[in-house]
Homo-oligomer: A and B are copies of this chain.
Amino acid sequence: MSIIVQKYGGTSIGTIEKISLVADKIIKEINNGNQVVVVVSAMSGETNRLLGIAKSIDNKISGRELDMLISTGEQVTISLLAMTLNKKGHRAISLTGSQAGILTDNAHNKARIESINNSVIKNYLSDGNIVVVAGFQGVTEEGEITTLGRGGSDTSAVAISVALDAKECQIYTDVDGVYTTDPRLSPGAKKINQITTEEMLELSSQGSKVLQPRAVEFAGKYDIGIRVLSTFEDGSGTLVKKENDLQMEKAIISGIAFNKDEAQLTIRGVPDQPGIASLILGPIAKLNIDVDMIVQNVGEDGLANFTFTVPRNDYENAKKSLIESSEKLNAKKVEGNNQIVKISMVGVGMRTHPGIASKMFSVLAENEINISMISTSEIKISIVTDENNLKTAIDVLHKAFNLEK
């Protein structure tokens, strides 16, 4: 008898009718002879509704009390799902993060899972229960309720899969798998049957919203297979697994991700000396602004140009801080653009196919798409361009790298 962990997100359980559909999917897996642990999020919209109430009290609310509030969202869904399974004649028991033994650090609102005491879930499974666990939440050693941050339910599901040595971690969502690029933007986008954890990690962190990067990282670290599936359609979805475990299809490029939520800042003519990066980025980090891409190159007269991207929401604050730094550093000037998009091509095949980057650049050039920033990793090339170029860039790259086949 194998253990299957299934995770259903907010849109999959947004109504009583959908919860009933989910229950049927779970029962199907039980009838296949498996033991099932289900991880659920709050009903879609519920976390935002609770956040809205909290913000009407204090616009900058955070910390312990916020976790106390929003953790109720999953507590509602676990009980409703367990009731539904009971009503359909199956033994089911709901567990909060705390009851399920999901121990986290005490970083409220963005806690990290430290360990899972798997005996509670295992005992309920051996007693013949379907175990329904609240995702997104845990408990500190002192008994404080914590949440893992947005999308944390994926991480909960993977961590529980690891703790139970599950056969597979199935993440149910409103799409039927991972695509070569966003199908809403590019009608030629194709579903990927198998993808390596590393590629998935790059796609997730580059803007593909299907899986949370933290969950993918976790799965990779502990060698757990994740299968992305649709709640509302049948199909085999996309299997995300370590490279060695996969019968790879040898695609050079797995997918193209993009992120429209970024803005670009440049400081020009900075004296090129040790420590310059931290002098520029230190004040930005103090404002709690995440810096994504960073590019530095040397200009004329030993003066460096330094370019980086930040979330678009933080653009004005980051720019203000950068202007202050530029005065202290005697830099020549600060420039910015919040109408950009980042496009990333991801594929383990890049390692063995050196011409990918230059092919990417020439395809974009032929289509008169100007590149303002480039950054590469072992299995990823990211470029920044004007956001008006997004659709054309995705289409021509998708075609040039044969992703439609």
B-contacting residues of A (Cβ < 8 Å)? 16, 19, 50, 53-54, 56-58, 61, 64-66, 68-69, 71-72, 75-76, 78-80, 82-84, 86-87, 93-94, 96, 99, 143, 145
A53 contacts B86, CB within 8 Å?
A: no
B16 contacts A53, CB within 8 Å?
A: yes
Contacts A53-B16, A56-B16, A87-B57 known; A68 to B78 CB distance under 8 Å?
A: yes
Contacts A53-B16, A72-B72 known; A83 to B99 CB distance under 8 Å?
A: no
Q: Nearest CB to that of A43 among chain B residues? A: B53
B65 contacts A82, CB within 8 Å?
A: yes
- State A78–B64 Cα separation when bound (angstroms): 12
B80 contacts A53, CB within 8 Å?
A: yes
- State A83–B65 Cα separation when bound (angstroms): 6
- State A80–B72 Cα separation when bound (angstroms): 12
Of B57, B72, B96, B99, the residue contacting A16 (CB under 8 A) is B57
A75 contacts B72, CB within 8 Å?
A: yes
- State A82–B68 Cα separation when bound (angstroms): 10
- State A80–B96 Cα separation when bound (angstroms): 20
The residue in A16, A50, A65 that gathers the most chain B C-beta atoms within 10 A of its C-beta is A65
B69 contacts A57, CB within 8 Å?
A: no
- State A99–B61 Cα separation when bound (angstroms): 22
Q: Nearest CB to that of A93 among chain B residues? A: B64
- State A93–B143 Cα separation when bound (angstroms): 13
B68 contacts A79, CB within 8 Å?
A: yes
- State A304–B54 Cα separation when bound (angstroms): 64
B68 contacts A86, CB within 8 Å?
A: no
- State A61–B80 Cα separation when bound (angstroms): 11
A54 contacts B68, CB within 8 Å?
A: no
17 new A-B contacts at CB < 8 Å, known A68-B94, A69-B83? A16-B53, A19-B57, A50-B76, A54-B83, A57-B80, A57-B83, A58-B83, A58-B86, A58-B87, A65-B86, A65-B94, A68-B75, A68-B82, A68-B96, A69-B76, A69-B80, A72-B72
- State A238–B363 Cα separation when bound (angstroms): 83
A84 proximity list for chain B (CB < 8 A) = 57
- State A87–B59 Cα separation when bound (angstroms): 10
Q: Nearest CB to that of A73 among chain B residues? A: B72
Nearest first, the 4 A-B pairs at minimum CB distance are A69-B79, A68-B79, A72-B72, A58-B87
- CB of A52 to closest CB in B, whole Å: 11
B66 contacts A54, CB within 8 Å?
A: no
The residue in A58, A79, A93 that gathers the most chain B C-beta atoms within 10 A of its C-beta is A79
Q: Nearest CB to that of A56 among chain B residues? A: B16
Contacts A93-B64, A99-B143, A143-B99 known; A54 to B75 CB distance under 8 Å?
A: no
